[in-house]
Amino acid sequence: MSPRSLQTRLLLTFVSLAVIGLGSVSALSGWRLTAEDFAHNERDLELHARLIADALREPLRQGDRGNVASGGRTLDALVTSYAQGIGGRVTLLDPQLNVTLSSDSTVPVQVQETHSEVTAARDGTLQSAIRWDEWSKQERMFIAAPVAERGQTLGFIQVSVPTAPIYAEMQQTWLTFLAIGSIVLLVTVAASTWVARQIAVPVQKLTTTSEQIAAGHLEKRVVPSGPNEIRRLGSAFNQMAERVQEMVAQQRVFVDNAAHELRSPLTGIRLRIEMLQTRGKNDAELTQHYLGQMEREVSYLQRLVDYLLALASVENRERVMPKTSLDLARILFEASDEMGAVVHQAGLTLETDMAEQLPSIEANADQMTILIRNLIDNAIKYTPRGGTITLTTSASSDEIEIRVTDTGIGIPPEQLPHIFDRFYRGDAARSRDPSLRSGGGAGLGLALVRAIAEAHGGRVQAESRVNAGSTFIVHLPLHK
């Protein structure tokens, strides 16, 4: 593999194809045209020779050179005017092939002509010949024709023209071909360069941008350009880069939040250990107090780690998560039963309006339990005493719908879009309002609910009015 660039390769391919194609077509047509040109000149000369031979028959028969010939002109004048007419030389020979008269004064008279065209004429054929002419010192094309009447040869005429103009004409043809060829080649080179650039430049840009992204500049994008396919590649590349950047940003936020959430309880525990080491030795009450606080911090840490692990397992093992055909109604009844005591303890009422039978769905039982518990847990945490929590299910032909409604504090509209984000906690949760049981939340519950719903091909949405209550609706498709 030679290291040449894509652009150079494309260009070389286009140009060599053009040169081969154009070259062979021009050579062939040029050769044919010049050959025809030559044949045409030969035919012309032959025709002229016949015509002149015909025209001279009468004057030759009538008399000698110098006599008044047809139309009152001498033979000499006639020959000269014919020669002028064809732009060449006309020579008259007697039956013994001796030159008697020539339009060209350099040709000596009384010299016997023995060249091939003349001997051919004597034998009754017309044959052209090209050779160096010793009298005019140039190359000429010759042809000779007999002047005969009723089988009797009166003489011969030899006609010749210089070949230089014929060659000049042929050269002109070749030059024209060369000029057209060069123009076409230039256009081809320009067009090929353009096409090659159209392909190579965007590819080059994609490569550079990929390298930059690989080097950590995740914000780099390409401007999609070039032919359709390459432009689509550019757009797809941008989308991919966008997605990667988003994912990295999410991971970063997640790690930052997780570190932050883990740090504060750990600091709390360390501080209390230090206090106990210095002051707690003789103070049983203080020791008890700190131990109780530390236990709460540890259980918070435990919960946090459980959540993080659950989230990671839902997101990472989405595809391999074991799912079985599930009776969701039973799971929901069990969960509401189990949480009944907590609800009661919180001074709340749990109402259920659930179908005894739900169509079975392919789902993971543990995750479904986590999902429903989290929603009920939130309803408990964010509903003041005396409120009601309602659990409703319904099924349509293509999905199961689970609703958890409470009569709690509600969620302000500006917070609603964020409640499913990891580590997002509303004001009420952050203030750790003692009247509510919201303390200790990490803001991961709803993130987990959403991850589980999505891992089952479903979705979750929330509707809420401040001080009136909230409803969380989970849609789970029956068939994926």
Ligand X SMILES: Nc1ncnc2c1ncn2[C@@H]1O[C@H](COP(=O)(O)OP(=O)(O)OP(=O)(O)O)[C@@H](O)[C@H]1O
> Residues in the site for ligand X, rule: CB under 6 A?
378-379, 381-382, 406, 408-411, 419, 424-426, 428-429, 441-447, 470
Give the count of alpha carbons within 13 A of 52, CB side only: 32
Number of H-type helices and E-type strands within the chain: 10, 12
Residue whose tokens read 């044959």: 127
- For Mg ion, give the closer residue by CB, 63 or 412: 412
Of these partners, ligand X, Mg ion, none, which one is at the site of residue 443 (CB under 5 to 8 Å by kind)? ligand X
Beta-carbon contacts of 316 under 8 Å, excluding residues fewer than 6 positions away, are none
Q: Shortest distance, CB of residue 374 to Mg ion, whole angstroms?
A: 6
* Pairwise CA distance, residues 316 & 269, whole Å: 31
* Pairwise CA distance, residues 246 & 369, whole Å: 30
- The SS3 call for residue 352 is strand
Question: By CB under 5 A, is residue 426 in contact with Mg ion?
Answer: no
Of these partners, Mg ion, ligand X, none, which one is at the site of residue 408 (CB under 5 to 8 Å by kind)? ligand X
Q: Shortest distance, CB of residue 328 to ligand X, whole angstroms?
A: 21
Of these partners, ligand X, Mg ion, none, which one is at the site of residue 49 (CB under 5 to 8 Å by kind)? none
Output the residue with the shortest Cβ distance to ligand X.
Answer: 426
Q: Shortest distance, CB of residue 361 to ligand X, whole angstroms?
A: 24
Beta-carbon contacts of 273 under 8 Å, excluding residues fewer than 6 positions away, are 294
Q: Shortest distance, CB of residue 418 to Mg ion, whole angstroms?
A: 14
Q: Tokens representing 240?
A: 């991919």
Q: Shortest distance, CB of residue 304 to ligand X, whole angstroms?
A: 8
Q: Do the strands 459-465 and 469-477 form a parallel or antiparallel pair, or are they unpaired?
A: antiparallel
Of these partners, ligand X, Mg ion, none, which one is at the site of residue 429 (CB under 5 to 8 Å by kind)? ligand X
- For ligand X, give the closer residue by CB, 290 or 307: 307
- For Mg ion, give the closer residue by CB, 425 or 456: 425
DSSP calls for 229-246: HHHHHHHHHHHHHHHHHH
Indicate the DSSP class of residue 282: S
Q: Identity (one letter) of the amino acid at 158?
A: Q
Of these partners, Mg ion, ligand X, none, which one is at the site of residue 425 (CB under 5 to 8 Å by kind)? ligand X
Q: Which helix (H) or strand (E) holds 455?
A: helix 445-455
Q: Shortest distance, CB of residue 337 to ligand X, whole angstroms?
A: 20
- For ligand X, give the closer residue by CB, 205 or 422: 422
Of these partners, Mg ion, ligand X, none, which one is at the site of residue 444 (CB under 5 to 8 Å by kind)? ligand X
Closest to 89 measured CA to CA, from 57, 123, 133, 119: 133
Output the residue with the shortest Cβ distance to Mg ion.
Answer: 445
Of these partners, Mg ion, ligand X, none, which one is at the site of residue 38 (CB under 5 to 8 Å by kind)? none
- For Mg ion, give the closer residue by CB, 155 or 445: 445
Of these partners, ligand X, Mg ion, none, which one is at the site of residue 419 (CB under 5 to 8 Å by kind)? ligand X
Residue whose tokens read 């599930």: 326
Of these partners, ligand X, Mg ion, none, which one is at the site of residue 382 (CB under 5 to 8 Å by kind)? ligand X
Q: Shortest distance, CB of residue 424 to ligand X, whole angstroms?
A: 5
- For ligand X, give the closer residue by CB, 104 or 366: 366
How far does Cα 388 stand from its chain's mean position?
60
Q: Is 82 exposed, middle or buried (0-12, 13-18, 19+ CB in 10 A)?
A: buried
- For ligand X, give the closer residue by CB, 147 or 444: 444
Of these partners, ligand X, Mg ion, none, which one is at the site of residue 406 (CB under 5 to 8 Å by kind)? ligand X
Task: Determine contact, residues 410/468, Cβ cutoff 8 Å.
Answer: yes
Q: Shortest distance, CB of residue 321 to ligand X, whole angstroms?
A: 21
- For ligand X, give the closer residue by CB, 363 or 442: 442
Residue whose tokens read 């609910």: 449
Q: Shortest distance, CB of residue 242 to ligand X, whole angstroms?
A: 26
Indicate the DSSP class of residue 34: H
- For ligand X, give the closer residue by CB, 105 or 467: 467
Interacting residues with Mg ion between 359 and 418 (CB under 5 A): 378
Of these partners, Mg ion, ligand X, none, which one is at the site of residue 310 (CB under 5 to 8 Å by kind)? none
Q: Identity (one letter) of the amino acid at 340?
A: G
Q: Shortest distance, CB of residue 311 to Mg ion, whole angstroms?
A: 13
Q: Shortest distance, CB of residue 196 to ligand X, whole angstroms?
A: 56
Q: Tokens representing 170?
A: 């042929």
How far does Cα 352 stand from its chain's mean position?
57
* Pairwise CA distance, residues 61 & 449, whole Å: 127
- For Mg ion, give the closer residue by CB, 166 or 368: 368
Task: Determine contact, residues 389/462, Cβ cutoff 8 Å.
Answer: no
Question: By CB under 5 A, is residue 234 in contact with Mg ion?
Answer: no
Interface with Mg ion (CB under 5 A), residue from 265, 445, 458, 469:
445
Closest to 405 measured CA to CA, from 329, 474, 470: 470
Question: What is the binding site for Mg ion (CB under 5 A)?
Answer: 378, 445
